[in-house]
Amino acid sequence: MKTAVYLIGAGPGDPELITLKGRRCLEAADCVIYDHLVNRELLQYAPGTAERVYVGKQGGQDHISQKEINSLLLERARQGKTVARLKGGDPFIFGRGGEEAEVLARAGILFEVVPGVSAGSAAPAYAGIPLTHRDYGPAVAFVAAQQDPTREDPAPDWKKLSAAADTLVFFMGARSVRQVVEQLTRHGRSPSTPIALIRWGTRPSQEVVTGTLESILDCAGPMDPPTLIVVGEVVRLRERLRWFDNRPLFGKRVLITRPRRQAQDFRRALELLGAKAISFPTVEVRQPDSWAMLDRALETIDQYDWLIFTSVNGVKYFFQRYFRRHPDIRQLKGVRIAAIGPATRRAVLDFKLAVDTLPSDYQAEGLVESLRGKVVKGMRVLLPRARIAREVLPRQLQRQGARVEVVEAYRTGPPENAQSEWAQVLDDAPPHMVVFTSSSTVTNLADLNRPKSLAESLQGTAVACIGPVTAATARESGLQVDLVPEKYTTASLIEAMEAYFARGG
């Protein structure tokens, strides 16, 4: 008998804090039922065919009642579906997972509990506050600041609670700060006791306010849910141990328009600097409609003098097809290879092949210059690339007398459902910066945005372009370009972004 329902702890917000088992269960789900506090990036791990049902509760307002959620779990399980019940934090720590498990158990439905990283420990850790410390306090207690109002005595025993542990962590604390302060000081806690309020802990939007029981109401304005309260001497350590929200790009929302797979390293680098990287690929790379041109070239590949790659995609799809026709890489013996930039060069090196020419200026004009005197009259040159691309390189090499054969190795176009996803991006908090890494990322986004102009939709958003060609396309689309790195690489781009925001951009 297979498990019907997985009660999965999604963690506190940082999508990388989900457990390996939690991700594996998501990947096997037919239906995902998820809460408001779940980071929606986690939904990418569910199969594309899986049903996604939002049952979030926000600010005390039920999108759907707990009774309805219970019925939904039973209904989907009885339909024979594998259900991933995705809950913020840990399902058994103020997540009502115990109640849902009881319902499933009474109905005889097989379930598993997949523990998650609780916000109670993770949010303070990301704020630089260790909940236990030998010098400040060895004991910690977790408390629900908002109790079930249907209980006979919904209020906690504040006298016992005040003395229960050195460190107190209150969940659901946004509307309970005054009550916590007044009750703890009334029942024995010193007014000088440190306190921290942490909102959206572990996310790039994390906010932390610290003070004492005596001062916090004066120095902290109203904080919306979800807010965690930490009370205890360990809060003093934040000043020394703060590591997450003091990074150079913390809190900056950066929109990345390149294909999702190609953006992974770039995205990770931004996140390590504290940025919120919003992946919105405006370009999708696909196989060509026909391999005929490339296949004909591959039949006589050893007769070419030069093989020129102008993108990582060109390398990927060329060799994907090459090894279908030639089992041996030695068929390329004698063919010299040029790459337009470091990333493309690394892609070639992955096949244990040397790159003979790499320009200092990572664009077509620079590649032409680097090949001057090397590609001469009569030489055969193979250029596998996208169907639509700049003609600078083949034209200039032809003027040098080379016989240049341009073959389609892949094609690009806007992703499916991009229109609706772009509307969602615009509805959310606007990005601080949008990054364009090719002219096609600009033109595709402009097409998606019609009838509005890009300048209108991106008003107040800085524009970064990886090189002058992309920048020129952006300006043609009516955008003001704020940043172009000296070198046309993502590493140089990130350095320029740091400098831009450091200047107050």
Catalytic residues: 35, 57, 172
Instruction: Report how far residue 251's alpha carbon sits from residue 390's, in angstroms, rounded to the nearest whole number.
Output: 37
Tokens of 85: 């019940």
Bridge-based pairing of strands 253-256 and 227-231 is unpaired
- Please name the residues in contact with 312: beta carbons below 8 A apart, sequence gap of 6 or more: 262, 343, 344, 347
Q: What is the DSSP letter of 481?
A: P
CA distances from 219 to 127, 195, 212, 495 (A): 18, 11, 10, 35
Q: How far is CA 80 from the centre of its chain?
A: 32
Of 438, 505, 500, nearest to 466 by C-alpha is 438
Q: What is the dihedral of CA 194, 200, 204, 209, to 10 degrees?
A: -20
State how beta strands 284-286 and 403-413 pair: antiparallel
Q: 226: cis peptide before it, omega within 30°?
A: yes
What's the CA gap between 20 and 5, in Å, rounded?
17
